[in-house]
């Protein structure tokens, strides 16, 4: 089945590098990132998991739990984690799902047959506390993900939820944001007391509300 934006992320129970794991129980009321890897002991994935580990404090600051997946078994995951820790100078302490039977990969549409009939593509989902899928990014196996972009999108999604705004091209935390088109400029000025700059009736900016 295909997972699309706005869908409810499906629960699963699977073995992992830290033992049997229930996805919903693991997430609790946090935001979540579920990301797939083509295989253990592969170079691009090794750098990605190392970077994810180094960003632990950034994810915690955003109330976000990370969960990786690879189509190898839990014993291989644990051996691979030793390599990641050694080569990337970090300590991986988030779970890596074991998915040798491809059940989770098929549940989340991580197998793209025209890319590989057996290995998962490099997909990533951001899931909000209501278990709704808010972002899907899919890279080819040969290209590592940009984790600065993942953090940027997390910041945007959380700001959108808390302040009902939108974020413009290349937005980063602290930049001006966009007033929703559904608001009149008069109402926007009441809601956003820092001021509203109108370039067009449909294109209006305001300073980031929580800064």
What does the pLDDT read at residue 112?
A: 62
Query: Helix, strand, or coil here: 128?
Result: coil
What mean pLDDT comes out for the span 178-185? 94
What does the pLDDT read at residue 60?
A: 98
Give span(s): CATH 3.40.30.10, the chain: 13-145
- Could you give phi then psi for residue 125, rounded to 5 degrees? -120, 140
Task: Tell me the CATH number for domain 13-145.
Answer: 3.40.30.10
Residue ranges of E strands in the chain? 13-14, 21-22, 31-37, 64-70, 96-98, 122-127, 133-139, 177-178, 197-200, 203-206
Of 55, 21, 35, the residue nearest 136 (C-alpha): 35
What does the pLDDT read at residue 27?
A: 98
- Distance between CA atoms of 97 and 77, rounded to whole angstroms? 8
Please list, in sequence order, all residues whose beta carbon lies within 8 angstroms of the beta carbon of residue 22, skipping any fewer than 6 positions away. 11, 12, 13
What does the pLDDT read at residue 1?
A: 58
156 pLDDT higher than 90: yes
Catalytic residue among 14, 34, 45, 150: 45
The pLDDT tens digits of the residues spanning 88-137 come to 999 999 999 999 888 998 888 887 655 554 555 578 999 999 999 999 99
45 is catalytic: yes
pTM reported for the whole predicted model: 0.92
Query: Helix, strand, or coil here: 86?
Result: helix
Q: pLDDT-based confidence at 38, cuts 50/70/90?
A: confident
Q: To the nearest whole number, what is the mean pLDDT of the chain?
A: 92
17 pLDDT higher than 70: yes
Of 206, 200, 173, 171, the residue nearest 188 (C-alpha): 206
What does the pLDDT read at residue 100?
A: 87
- Report the percentage of the chain scoring pLDDT > 90: 80
The pLDDT tens digits of the residues spanning 96-110 come to 999 988 899 888 888
- Distance between CA atoms of 195 and 124, rounded to whole angstroms? 36
């Amino acid at each position: 089945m295909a997972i699309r934006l706005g869908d409810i992320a499906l629960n699963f129970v699977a073995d992992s590098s830290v033992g049997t794991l229930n996805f919903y129980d693991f997430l609790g009321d946090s935001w979540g990132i579920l990301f797939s890897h083509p295989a253990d002991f592969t170079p691009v994935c090794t750098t990605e998991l190392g970077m994810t580990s180094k960003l632990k404090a950034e994810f915690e600051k955003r109330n976000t739990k990370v969960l990786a997946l690879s189509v190898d078994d839990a014993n291989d995951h644990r051996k691979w984690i030793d390599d990641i820790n050694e080569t990337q100078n970090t300590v991986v302490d988030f779970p890596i799902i074991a998915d040798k039977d491809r059940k989770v990969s098929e549940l989340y549409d991580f197998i793209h047959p025209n890319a590989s009939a057996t290995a998962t593509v490099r997909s990533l989902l951001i899931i909000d506390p209501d278990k709704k899928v808010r972002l899907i990014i899919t890279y080819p196996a040969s290209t590592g993900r940009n984790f600065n972009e993942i953090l940027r999108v997390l910041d945007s999604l959380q700001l959108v939820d808390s302040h009902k705004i939108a974020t413009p091209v290349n937005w980063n935390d602290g930049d001006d944001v966009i007033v929703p088109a559904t608001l009149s400029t008069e109402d926007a000025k009441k809601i956003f007391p820092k001021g509203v700059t109108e370039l067009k009736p449909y294109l209006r900016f305001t300073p980031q509300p929580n800064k």
